[in-house]
Amino acid sequence: MKVLPAPKASRRSSRVTLRDVAARAGVNHMAVSVTLNGTRGKTGVSTDTRERILRAAEELGYQANPIAQSLMTGRTGIVGLWLGDMETPFATHLMQSLHARAQSAGFDVQISNLSHERVRDPAALEQLVRWPLDGVIIFGPPQWVEILRQLPDRHSDATVSVGWHPVEGLDNVWWDLRPGAEEAIEHLVKAGYRSIGYVAGPWGFQESDLRFRAYSQAMAAAGLETHSIQLPGEKRTDALHTLRRRLREEPALDALYCYNDDFAIAARSILHELGKEVPKEVGLTGCDGLLEGLYMAPPLSTVHVPVEDISNRAWELLRRRMQDPESPLICDRVEAHFQPRGST
């Protein structure tokens, strides 16, 4: 057996240090540290000295140590995105939009998927605050937000809530679905549909849900009877079995107003199975404005939630709160509106 010689120990790759930059700039080590790592308050470094240090750092290819920067500034350069229902396409779209906004501002991102079980699990909540964050954006119901904002050992109080409802005592961006829901039902009624069913998961029938409230009131105003189809969850897979059974039981329904686009896409598949033509025999509308709905045949009518606008507003609120913790609270309302397409 041939024995190969042991590999030689590799020399540690040379890394430019603060002392290297100090020697190149002709200044002391501390002046370089406060200039490149940042510090709270005034640095005491003159403009001329600062420029020499920055020029020397660039010439040498210096890369700042993030841990040292964190110790000096009290900032980590990391923000958290704590979002529920990330299995749904809408939550994924929102997460991607917020993530892109944070990264474009130079922040790293910690993403955590929330659930009813995790929000009530002390061990899981402890994991959320294990690493210090400069700020957090939370997407979830108000009761979740209330629990999460009061977690002990939070590195920063900078928190913004995004969701379907306003939240008191916190910066928040909320999308008002009521205008779009009213427009959707009015559109269906004007199009001649009379037996309009509301399709939702277990949370969609609460009085606080603006879609359900708008549906009930608009149907009453038109003198029409309501028809509710409750599904066991809020994902497309939750809809298929129950919705297939209910549509067979209620063949007289001539339109479906769905809690989200995921349910509407599932409904379109089932209607096709049952030989129902959309929109000639059954009108169909969703809520969210998923891009996927545009590629259905026919394209899905929907209550459009402007995710990019919401993400920009939420990020600006978080940036403002991180920079000025004492600034006044802002509750930013965004209206969602109905987009009629081929399915109605």
Query: Which residue segments constitute the domains of the chain, with CATH numbers given?
Result: 18-64 (1.10.260), 78-176+307-335 (3.40.50.2300), 178-304 (3.40.50.2300)
Q: How many Cα atoms are found within 13 Å in the side-chain-facing hemisphere of 275?
A: 2
pLDDT at residue 40 is higher than 60: no
Please state, as a whole number, how many other Cβ atoms lie within 10 Å of the Cβ of residue 35.
Answer: 22
Torsion of CA 39, 45, 48, 49, to 10 degrees: -90
- The angle, 0 to 180 degrees and rounded to 10, between the axes of the packed helices 47-60 and 29-36 is 80
What pTM value is reported for the model? 0.78
Could you tell me what percent of the chain has a pLDDT over 90?
A: 50
* Helix or strand run (H / E) with residue 114: strand 108-114
pLDDT confidence band for 136 (50 / 70 / 90): very high
Of residues 215 and 38, more confidently modeled: 215
DSSP secondary structure string for all residues of 159-195: EEEEESS--TTSEEEEEE-HHHHHHHHHHHHHTT--S
* Helix or strand run (H / E) with residue 265: helix 261-273
Of residues 120 and 66, more confidently modeled: 120
User: Omega before 298 cis (within 30°)?
Assistant: yes
How many Å apart are CA 246 and CA 226, to the nearest integer? 15
**Looking at residues 151-178, what average pLDDT do you find?**
88
pLDDT tens for 260-316 read 999 999 999 999 999 999 999 999 999 999 999 999 999 999 999 999 999 999 999
pLDDT tens for 177-194 read 999 999 999 999 999 999
The least confident of 3-12, 167-176, 245-254 is: 3-12
pLDDT, residue 143, reads 84
pLDDT tens for 312-325 read 999 999 999 999 99
Of residues 10 and 77, more confidently modeled: 77
**Looking at residues 204-229, what average pLDDT do you find?**
87
pLDDT, residue 66, reads 60
List the one residue out of 259, 263, 344, 267 whose CA is nearest residue 298: 344
pLDDT, residue 144, reads 86
pLDDT at residue 31 is higher than 50: yes
pLDDT at residue 104 is higher than 70: yes
Of residues 136 and 45, more confidently modeled: 136
pLDDT, residue 10, reads 44
Q: How many Cα atoms are found within 13 Å in the side-chain-facing hemisphere of 182?
A: 11
